[in-house]
Amino acid sequence: MKALILPKPGKPDTLEIAELPMPVPGPGEIRVRVHAAGLNPIDYKVSPNGNPAWVYPFVLGIDVAGVVDTVGEGVTTWKTGDRVAYMADFTRPGGFAEYTVTVAHTVAAIPDGVSFTDAAAFPCAGLTAYQILTRKMQIRSGQSLLVHAGAGGVGGYAIQLAKLYGASPILATASPQNANYVRSLGADEVIDYNSDNVQERVMAITNGVGVDLIINSLNRATAQLDLDTLAFGGQLACIAGAPETVADFQPSSKSFTLHKLMIAGAYGSGSRKAEEDLAVMAGEFMALLQQNKVDSLVQEVIQLEQVPDALIRLSQRHVRGKIVAEL
């Protein structure tokens, strides 16, 4: 099969097209003929140092949509020809190849009316936003929300979901060139993180109260500052690093909940329930796609050979929405 391989630990510009043997599904696994694979920051963040579980050449790509090609021993939930999408275990070979193998219990069926491209766009970013808002924060109508990096994958899905669930107002940070795009997703206020003091703007917009919910996909430093902009009883979800100082933070005037998220951590957690919930959430999310309640955020469709350059652009944080490779 044709695959985009990482010959050894290295940056995205070291990826190359090669021929690999067809993978064979083991017990409880399925082989998928990949039709589309989404690009994510984890692809360029992990590749330079690799992972102890990787065997080279390695295939990246954790967002996968395709058709079941072969089922392994003991698999009764899927059959050849089923359309499926899932977020793969990043410690195993992924979706930047014509065929890939995954465990059957983390996979969801692609409903009628949802394309492979749209199904491949959402898993990592969409499930992260979905898990934060529905499983962790249990968002309620009328709650206020700040989303950092509103033009990105997690941010774009979070804004749409929050709007759907009745959050108000929805604040988002974005560059000036992405402001209108972020507003189109449902943001009520867009803050220019280049020229504005984000914390001061949030407090001004909320009349000094702060926001009920914050989603931070940036870093520890901004997450630390976010504590000052939470309303009493607020919740902060961190994807790329939690605040370093949370103990005794303004105990007399603040009561807050901190969520540290890594959606891919379900794999290897030892919890079958956590892994199965990936499939449950994916099914629920794709139902929203099918009903046109959430947009897939696909901004660019590329070929497998174009993935290295696209990952480089993604690493420079100048990409809006989602990029998907079609095979």
Q: Is 160 within 8 Å of 295 (Cβ atoms)?
A: yes
pLDDT, position 317: 78
Let me know how many helices (H) and strands (E) the chain has, helices first. Answer: 9, 15
Residue identified by tokens 């914390």 is 199
Q: Which two tokens stand for residue 173?
A: 């940070």
Q: Is 251 within 8 Å of 82 (Cβ atoms)?
A: no
User: How many CB atoms within 10 Å of residue 257?
Assistant: 13
pLDDT band at residue 326 using 50, 70 and 90 as cut-offs: very high
Give, to the nearest 10 degrees, the angle between helix 153-164 and helix 123-130: 40
Backbone torsions φ then ψ of 135, nearest 5 degrees: -90, -40
Determine which helix (DSSP H) or strand (DSSP E) holds 220, and give its type and residue range: helix 220-226
Please indicate whether residue 254 or residue 157 has the higher confidence score (pLDDT): 157
| Residue 268 φ/ψ region, left for φ over 0, alpha for ψ in the -120 to 50 degree band, beta for the rest | left
Please indicate whether residue 121 or residue 220 has the higher confidence score (pLDDT): 121
Q: How many Å is the Cα radius of gyration of the chain?
A: 20
Q: Which of 120-129, 176-185, 231-240 has the lowest mean pLDDT?
A: 231-240
Q: Is the pTM of this model over 0.85?
A: yes
pLDDT, position 30: 98
- Residue range 191-215: average pLDDT? 95
pLDDT reading at 249 higher than 80: no
Q: Which two tokens stand for residue 261?
A: 């998220």
Between CA 308 and CA 70 the distance in angstroms is 29
pLDDT, position 264: 87
Residue identified by tokens 């021929």 is 19
pLDDT reading at 104 higher than 90: yes
Between CA 270 and CA 303 the distance in angstroms is 36
- Residue range 210-216: average pLDDT? 96
Q: pLDDT of 3-32, one tens digit each?
A: 999 999 999 999 999 999 999 999 999 999
Q: Of 142, 205, 150, 198, nearest to 172 (Cα)?
A: 150
* Average pLDDT in the chain: 94
